[in-house]
């Protein structure tokens, strides 16, 4: 059974969880490259305030429904209203919640919001090739492989490829 989650806008008070998550090498291993350098409270505060105040992107906190505990955030960035497209992202910082199907749930909810609320036609993402669980979750959510950016990510003292995946509104079923 899937863990019940709620997606809602982040508030400034939600920053405290990120202090732990962004200093956890395993949590940030395949996430936003910026996270590799956000390791002080001041740097995290500055970044987080920009996320909370960002009206150009669709950012949502991922909360456990039974306890209202923040476990990560997800959304769509780089939105082009002219081209009706955006880029999906997800970060589950609470490692205790990994492997419970939450990422798949969140992906489905955010994609639905992208097509229904934001009126997008295309939602793309990039994912580190060694992040097998994410690739599987995105494929299960209907994302299709479109290409590969060779040696586009540097982690663990080596380069690896990033995959480009996307889903079109006509391919998506609510």
Q: In CATH, what number is assigned to the domain containing residue 116?
A: 3.40.630.30
pLDDT of the residue at 2:
67
pLDDT of the residue at 26:
84
pTM comes to: 0.90
pLDDT of the residue at 144:
97
pLDDT of the residue at 174:
60
pLDDT of the residue at 54:
84
Question: Other CB atoms closer than 10 Å to residue 30's CB: what's the count?
Answer: 19
pLDDT of the residue at 37:
77
pLDDT of the residue at 53:
85
User: Minimal CA–CA distance to 16: which of 61, 74, 64, 66?
Assistant: 61
Domain residues for the domain of 125 are 5-171
List the chain residues with pLDDT less than 70. Answer: 1-2, 32-33, 174
- When divided into structural domains, the chain yields a total of 1
């Amino acid at each position: 059974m899937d863990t019940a989650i709620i997606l809602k806008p982040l508030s400034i008070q939600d920053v405290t969880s990120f202090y732990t998550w962004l200093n956890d090498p395993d949590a940030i291993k395949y996430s936003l490259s910026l996270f590799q350098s956000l390791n002080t409270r001041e740097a995290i505060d500055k970044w987080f305030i920009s996320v909370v105040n960002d009206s150009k992107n669709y950012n949502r906190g991922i909360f456990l429904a039974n306890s209202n505990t923040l476990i990560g955030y997800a959304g769509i960035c780089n939105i082009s209203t002219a081209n009706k497209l955006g880029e999906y992202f997800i970060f589950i910082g609470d490692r205790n919640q990994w492997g419970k199907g939450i990422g798949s749930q969140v992906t489905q909810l955010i994609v639905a919001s992208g097509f229904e609320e934001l009126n997008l036609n295309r939602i793309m993402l990039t994912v580190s090739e060694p992040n097998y669980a994410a690739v599987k979750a995105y494929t299960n959510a209907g994302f299709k492989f479109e290409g590969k950016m060779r040696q586009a990510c540097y982690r663990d003292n080596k380069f690896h490829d990033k995959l480009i995946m996307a889903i079109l509104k006509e391919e998506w079923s609510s």
